Amino acid sequence: MSNSTNGVIKHVLSNGMTVLLKEVRTAPIISWWVVYRVGSRNEPTGLTGASHWVEHMVFKGTDQFPAGYLDRAIERDGGYWNAQTSFDYTAYFETMPADKIDLALRAEADRMANAKFDLEEVATERTVIISERQGSENYPLTWLGEEVQAAAFRVHGYHHQIIGDMTDLETMTRDDLYNHYKTHYAPSNAIGALVGDFDTQSMIERLEALFGAIPARETPPLFVRPEPRQTGERRVRVERPGPERYISIAYKAPAITHEDWIKLYMLDNVLGGASGFGGGGVGNRTSRFYQALVKTELVASLSSGLNESVDPFLYSIDGVLREESSLETVEAAILAEIDKAANGEITQAELDKALKQARALLAYASETVTNQAFWLAYFEHVAGDHDWLNQLEDRLRMVTLQDLQHVAQTYLHPSQRTVGWFIPTETDEEIEDDDRDDTDVEA
């Protein structure tokens, strides 16, 4: 079964796997992505971090492609590969010379069904992932971000970080990980996307031969617990050794499929500066937050943004304080800018500039075949429409000043925010991790 939208062919294999194909003949290159509809939001207590750990294990080889073989083979053929785990998905990709792409197709078909999960490899990766988590804990914003997110989400899987809770990383077994893999790495739970120099019909036949041969399997419903509505401001204080004071303010934000997501995205472009998909951005020196907080030297830096999430997530504002500033003053300055937006004080000139910057970033986001293939699979999953990004510019043009005021009043409301302060202590001895709780959460 196939259909076409804006040059993209959507084809569903006999076993339920969705594949998206777009011919781009500008260079003899093809990028191939496989996105699985499972991420950290689908992990219950006891299995937090399983999706990320499984991602690691899938690189440990199969009978057909032993550990290390694909690293050498893909590099020898002039390609590169990698993977990523997010709150909402797990993804793998290869970008190769067009005449070498079959290796990537065979590799992902094999890894979908035949990853080994050797006991010794599981033990090795446990050490690696625990070290990865411990390394991130050297950064105060990691501690603060984790506590703010945990306070903002009491029930939903967005409560925990992608890498997982330390206690789960220490206790998960090989069978826990293998069951997670066998449950979710099924054709019907996967989206493949190919962009580059190929013939569509020949490629569909090859995908049918490789991936269509994998038996269809029913997958159970994903583990998702709806988050109850927040009914008041929540506050978090983290007191640990660190070089600076930090502030984080997070508001509940809509899912990407909600019509208000685009409006909140444009409001953030005005408040914090234009930000692109995948983390890109442009200078934010004319943004409201920069003018009110960075230029006045209240903070050394400030960033803001929201995710393109499957479920309602967060709009976050994070700042690094200057030595002479107080957390109370910085928080008040941030909230003052939000109040101005809610009061309708944003101008048409600001919105027009934000639109121009957003359109530029949208163009940059789709420059490479690697990015194009990722966005096709990504939006097919999170938005239910691989053409979502292609429609974005028209939607951005429709956003009005009244829309910005509406989302500021609706989502950036005091009852929907979680405020976090990171307060550095002078020495490591002031906090004994085993003897005291280093956070204080108020609901």
Residue linked to tokens 């937006």: 341
Give pLDDT tens digits for 197-215.
999 999 999 999 999 999 9
Higher pLDDT, 375 or 439: 375
> Backbone phi, then psi, for 244, in 5-degree steps?
-140, 170
Pairing of the two strands 80-85 and 90-97: antiparallel
Give the Cα separation of 402 and 409 in Å (integer).
11
Give pLDDT tens digits for 161-189.
999 999 999 999 999 999 999 999 999 99
Map out the domains of the chain with their CATH numbers: 2-210 (3.30.830.10), 234-442 (3.30.830.10)
- pLDDT band at residue 431 under the 50/70/90 scheme: very low
- pLDDT band at residue 276 under the 50/70/90 scheme: low
Give the Cα separation of 386 and 5 in Å (integer).
9
CA distances from 40 to 9, 20, 35, 58, 145 (A): 30, 25, 14, 16, 16
Average pLDDT over residues 433-438: 40
Give the Cα separation of 423 and 429 in Å (integer).
15
Helix axes 388-397, 260-272, angle to 10 degrees: 70
> Backbone phi, then psi, for 112, in 5-degree steps?
-65, -30
Structure tokens at 354: 């934000």
Higher pLDDT, 440 or 243: 243
> Backbone phi, then psi, for 278, in 5-degree steps?
85, 10
pTM of structure: 0.92
> Is the pLDDT at 254 greater than 60, yes or no?
yes
- pLDDT band at residue 364 under the 50/70/90 scheme: confident
Give pLDDT tens digits for 57-87.
999 999 999 999 999 999 999 999 999 999 9
pLDDT of residue 278: 53
- pLDDT band at residue 283 under the 50/70/90 scheme: low
Structure tokens at 105: 């197709």
Average pLDDT over residues 28-43: 98
